[in-house]
């Protein structure tokens, strides 16, 4: 059973998504089919408004599909759950809690209740470990408004990872950061993902980010009725170094592929 699921750890089957708006019915996604392997890093890229965040929210369970089925580890996704942790674009930390408390809230929920409830010390140790993983031990007792945007997003990542999720969902995690901070965090995310080995789905609109981080890049067509246009395999060896890749022919070829998809075959019409 485990083996059979390894190739389709997360699975989307004929997923359609329509929203009822004031202007009528809006068909956002049509016929999405995607199988994600265990431990794989997938990026979903597309123009804004193509519904890539909707795909992520469907996997997170924050939205229910109009048609079709979603599975995670062989079970249907019925709603949000801590086995599918989300890193939100705007970090979504609670401003009245310290960084430590923000992470602890997640840890406490996942490991502090039920049959195998852990002691307070164990929960605290988990929280400290997660904060250390993203290198923020010195700021653990600060509130989100006392730290920089990059640090906030690190706490967001720590919170998600502390839950030991089966799947990590990242919704444009570095979209709001400056280029230098973004590059730093991308490198760190690669290291962290290599360590934890968990499956990840990231929504992005940054071509470099998609190619650098992913095993496969899922490229979406424009909405309405957006669907998966092409899937690009990134067979670059890991660990990947940003500087070496800059002159790597394969990397540049892949980058070009994505750019061609986005700006030639599926260019967004300027309204």
Give contact residues for another protein (rule: CB under 8 A).
60-62, 79-82, 84-86, 88, 90, 92, 94-97, 105-106, 109-110, 143, 145, 163
Shortest Cβ distance from residue 156 to another protein (Å)? 9
Tell me how far CA of residue 83 lies from CA of 18, 47, 77, 79, 162, in angstroms. Answer: 26, 29, 11, 11, 11
Residue placing its CB nearer to another protein in the complex, 112 or 229: 112
Residue placing its CB nearer to another protein in the complex, 147 or 245: 147
Neighbours of 142 (CB within 10 A): 15
Residue 134: its H or E element:
none
Shortest Cβ distance from residue 63 to another protein (Å)? 11
Shortest Cβ distance from residue 80 to another protein (Å)? 4
Tokens at 124, concatenated: 């605290």
Strand partners, 44: 203, 218
Shortest Cβ distance from residue 86 to another protein (Å)? 5
Neighbours of 33 (CB within 10 A): 12
Residue placing its CB nearer to another protein in the complex, 66 or 92: 92
Check: CB of residue 111 under 8 Å from CB of residue 105: no
Shortest Cβ distance from residue 31 to another protein (Å)? 26
Give exposure, 167-176, as e/b (b: 16+ Cβ within 10 Å): bbbbbbbbee
Rounded CA-CA distance 253/259 in Å is 10
Q: What is the dihedral of CA 48, 54, 59, 65, to 10 degrees?
A: -150
Shortest Cβ distance from residue 3 to another protein (Å)? 29
Residue placing its CB nearer to another protein in the complex, 105 or 236: 105
Residue placing its CB nearer to another protein in the complex, 30 or 91: 91
Residue placing its CB nearer to another protein in the complex, 20 or 243: 20
DSSP character at residue 226: B
Per-position DSSP letters for 4-47, written without gaps between them: HHHTTSEEEEEEEEEEEETTEEEEEEEEEEEEE-TT-EEEEE--
Residue placing its CB nearer to another protein in the complex, 104 or 261: 104
Shortest Cβ distance from residue 160 to another protein (Å)? 8
């Amino acid at each position: 059973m485990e083996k059979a699921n390894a190739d389709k750890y997360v699975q989307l089957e004929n997923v359609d998504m329509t929203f009822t708006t004031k202007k009528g019915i809006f068909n956002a996604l049509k016929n999405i089919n995607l199988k994600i392997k265990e431990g794989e890093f997938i990026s979903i890229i597309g123009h804004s408004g193509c519904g890539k965040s909707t795909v992520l929210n469907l996997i997170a369970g924050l939205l229910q599909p109009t048609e079709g089925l979603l599975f995670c580890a062989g079970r249907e996704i019925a709603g949000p759950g801590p086995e599918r942790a989300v890193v939100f674009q705007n970090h979504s930390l609670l401003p009245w809690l310290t960084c430590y408390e923000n992470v602890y809230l997640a840890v406490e929920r996942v490991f502090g209740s039920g049959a195998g409830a852990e002691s307070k010390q164990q929960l605290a140790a988990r929280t400290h470990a997660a904060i250390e993983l993203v290198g923020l031990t010195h700021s653990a007792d600060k509130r989100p408004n006392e730290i920089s945007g990059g640090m906030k997003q690190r706490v967001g990542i720590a919170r998600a990872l502390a839950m030991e999720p089966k799947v990590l969902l990242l919704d444009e995690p570095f979209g709001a950061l400056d280029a230098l901070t973004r590059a730093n965090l991308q490198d760190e995310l690669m290291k962290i993902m290599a360590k934890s080995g968990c499956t990840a789905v990231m929504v992005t609109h940054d071509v470099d980010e998609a190619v650098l981080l992913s095993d496969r890049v899922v490229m979406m067509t424009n909405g309405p009725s957006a669907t998966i246009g092409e899937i690009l395999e990134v067979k670059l060896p890991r660990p990947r170094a940003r500087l070496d890749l800059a002159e790597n022919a394969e990397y540049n070829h892949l980058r070009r592929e994505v750019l061609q998809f986005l700006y030639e075959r599926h260019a967004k019409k300027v309204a």
